[in-house]
Amino acid sequence: MRIGELAERAGTTTRTLRYYESRGLLPARRAVNGYRTYDESDLRLLRQIRTLQDFGFDLEETRPFVECLRAGHPAGDSCPASLAVYRRKLGELDGLIGELQSVRAQVGAQLAQAEAARAGLAAEAEVPGGPEPRCELTPHKSTPHKN
């Protein structure tokens, strides 16, 4: 199998395969004419890489899985080094998710507060005398704009 076919079967591009080879991840045999030659096991390696990439692993993190497969193990995650990557990744994910949830909460609070402020101003504008003092906001400044 040549590079174009492998790329198509893996749902990627030839550029990507050459890039992986340049990184030492997916070396290729060569035909007499210099063309890269691949077999089914290369397809398995490639699929392993792609799966992990889809999970957000970067290329270097896929290396233990690929080496594990090339060592003849039944799965890319049959080796301790791969499990270590899994665990590290879980930690990273948990940290990242936590951060994002914290940010989400803060942004949500900001939005709520800003919406409440706008609602307050709108109510004030509707009845120029100041309708019913809604909360503890000092209602004596009509609009804080500085036109």
Partner DNA sequence: GTAATCCTTGACGCCGAGGTCAAGGCAAGG
Partner DNA sequence: CCTTGCCTTGACCTCGGCGTCAAGGATTAC
Report how many residues bind its own copies under the rule CB under 8 A.
35
- For residues 25-44, which are near DNA according to CB under 7 A? 28, 32-36
Under the criterion CB under 7 A, does residue 3 sit at the interface with DNA?
yes
Q: Is 132 helix (H, G, I), strand (E, B) or coil?
A: coil
Nearer to its own copies, 8 or 94 (CB): 94
State how far the Cα of 45 lies from the Cα of 66, in Å rounded to an integer.
Answer: 6
**Is 69 exposed, middle or buried (CB count within 10 Å of its CB: 0-12, 13-18, 19+)?**
buried
| Cβ atoms of 21 and 27 closer than 8 Å | yes
Q: Which token pair is 16?
A: 């990507």
Binding site for DNA (CB under 7 A): 2-5, 12-16, 18-19, 28, 32-36, 53, 58-60
Binding site for its own copies (CB under 8 A): 55-56, 72-75, 77-78, 82-83, 86-87, 89-90, 93-94, 96-97, 100-101, 103-104, 106-108, 110-111, 114-115, 117-118, 144-147
